[in-house]
Amino acid sequence: MNTHVSDNIERVNVVGGGLAGCEAAWQLARRGVPVDLHEMRPARRTEAHTTGHLAELVCSNSFRSRSLTTGAGLLKEEMRRMGSLMIELGEAHQVPAGSALAVDRERFAEAVSERVSSLPGLRLIRREIDSIPPGLTIVATGPLTAGPLSERLRELLGAEHLYYYDAISPVVTAESVDASVAFRASRYDENPGDYLNLPLTQAEYYRLVDSVVEAEKVPVRSFERFFEGCLPVEEMARRGRETLAFGPMRPTGLVDPASGERPYAVVQLRQENREGTLYNLVGFQTKMTWPEQKRVFSLIPGLASAVFVRYGSLHRNTYINAPRHLLPTLQWRGGPRLFFAGQITGVEGYIESAASGLLAGVNAARLVSGGKPVTPPATTALGALLNYVSDPGRRDFQPMNVNFGLFPSLPFKTKGRRKKEFMAERALRDLERWWLDCGEGPSSTAVREA
């Protein structure tokens, strides 16, 4: 930690004292850069936060798996090696949770608040920001960004490039879909082969619809409203047993080559990433609980052994069209002195948000000292995630958790756990080399795995 902060060094504005903003502020301060951290709570609340603490966890208290053979476990290890405050304090305030890193949310948020507010050169300013401050700035206002600032962002980015709602369909790995069931086709043979289609008989369709209706759901929060054009799959199923067969599961324009006939209903899988390793279930946004999604969607022919890398959800979420607006350094394409970090960049989850804050902080500090911003290699968990959010070729952008489906393939064939072990080894090796090349290393390399 650099404890001396010179008055001659440019101050950086960090807007939002959540996981991303606090991590960014920490990375700046430890490099001797003074920070103005703007947080509107407690005077102005969001719909989900209940305290005035920095880095409040709004829902679960889990930072997910610690295993290096999961995307979340690997990302945490990378963050730890890069000196993440959220990981340090998460580990210091952990509670027993098997192979996951879960934290005592109150103690964790208190510890972050205490550590961040006493950083040398940091001014914690408790007020709502309603326009982007002048000067070098990191916007990290999260999924519940306050209204006036959202309006300014709409003006800056274009109304069609700021989203307020997240309707996420589940995503599965391509290799876990049963290829003997799925057939490639697009409706009426437009762009043939773009979709993977899973055909259902009438009996299979009814079994699925009934299970969707009966499945356990996450309660709808008072501030959540659904759009008619984007209803949860269970709401469509509840409205009538045939609703889905006339909606996202309609078989119109599709013929199953195995039977030569039009199926009763179809689940369409749309390619999710450039590499074609991930597919989403079109129209299956849902508020079913994660275990129920696994159970119910496994009833779909072809998905009995599917590996779900992301479950479906629906909630209010402010995020920008990052592929259009962000560089992988997290700088705005329209001006290098504006950074975005956290969930507003289209990453999804506590640790993903904090990790993007880490890089935004490192890069803003590099700009202040006349250096060049950097991006981690695409073979690392953080690099793969940033590659996903900032890929300008991506259409229909939706937020994403870190997962192995985002990583570039290995140069040799291997499957299952071994494949993830190889990817994790490659990630940590490449991270080490890159961090040293950036003049930031060596990192802390003692691996911690549950």
Asked if 346 is part of the footprint of ligand FAD (rule: CB under 6 A), the reply reads no
Alpha-carbon dihedral sign for residues 109, 113, 116, 118:
negative
Place of tokens 């001396």: 4
Number of residues that bind ligand FAD (CB under 6 A): 34
Do residues 6 and 32 touch, judged by C-beta distance below 8 A?
A: yes
Residue 331, strand partner residues: 339
Asked if 342 is part of the footprint of ligand FAD (rule: CB under 6 A), the reply reads yes
Q: Stretches 83-91, 113-121, 275-283, 339-347: which one binds ligand FAD (CB under 6 A)?
A: 339-347
Do residues 267 and 198 touch, judged by C-beta distance below 8 A?
A: yes
Asked if 349 is part of the footprint of ligand FAD (rule: CB under 6 A), the reply reads yes
Gap between the Cα atoms of 401 and 311, Å rounded: 10
Smallest separation (angstroms) from ligand FAD to the CB of 39: 5
Helices H / strands E in the chain, number of each: 13, 17
* Cis before 42? omega within 30: yes
Asked if 18 is part of the footprint of ligand FAD (rule: CB under 6 A), the reply reads yes
Pick the binder of ligand FAD from 25, 149, 185, 402 (CB under 6 A): 149
Q: Residue 249: exposed, middle, or buried by beta-carbon count in 10 A (0-12, 13-18, 19+)?
A: buried
Smallest separation (angstroms) from ligand FAD to the CB of 390: 16
Do residues 368 and 375 touch, judged by C-beta distance below 8 A?
A: no
| Nearest residue to 144 via CA among 370, 380, 319, 306 | 319
Asked if 116 is part of the footprint of ligand FAD (rule: CB under 6 A), the reply reads no
Query: Of the two residues 300 and 322, which places its CB atom closer to ligand FAD in the complex?
Result: 322
Asked if 139 is part of the footprint of ligand FAD (rule: CB under 6 A), the reply reads no
The 258-287 contact track toward ligand FAD, x by CB under 6 A, reads: ------------------------------
Q: Where are the alpha helices (DSSP H) in 158-286?
A: 202-214, 233-239, 243-246
Pick the binder of ligand FAD from 40, 156, 209, 368 (CB under 6 A): 40
Question: 3-class DSSP state for residue 383?
Answer: helix
Q: Would you tell me how many other CB atoms lie within 10 Å of the CB of residue 14?
A: 33
Smallest separation (angstroms) from ligand FAD to the CB of 128: 4
**Chain residue whose CB lies nearest ligand FAD:** 18
Asked if 145 is part of the footprint of ligand FAD (rule: CB under 6 A), the reply reads yes
Query: Of the two residues 2 and 60, which places its CB atom closer to ligand FAD in the complex?
Result: 60
Gap between the Cα atoms of 103 and 161, Å rounded: 35
Residues ≥6 apart with Cβ < 8 Å to 45: none
Pick the binder of ligand FAD from 13, 16, 31, 362 (CB under 6 A): 16
Asked if 19 is part of the footprint of ligand FAD (rule: CB under 6 A), the reply reads yes
Q: Stretches 34-42, 85-93, 280-288, 303-311: which one binds ligand FAD (CB under 6 A)?
A: 34-42
Smallest separation (angstroms) from ligand FAD to the CB of 273: 21
Gap between the Cα atoms of 90 and 73, Å rounded: 13
Asked if 323 is part of the footprint of ligand FAD (rule: CB under 6 A), the reply reads no
Pick the binder of ligand FAD from 14, 25, 33, 144 (CB under 6 A): 144
List interacting residues with ligand FAD (CB under 6 A): 15-21, 38-41, 46, 48-49, 58-60, 128-129, 140-146, 149, 315, 342-344, 349-350, 353
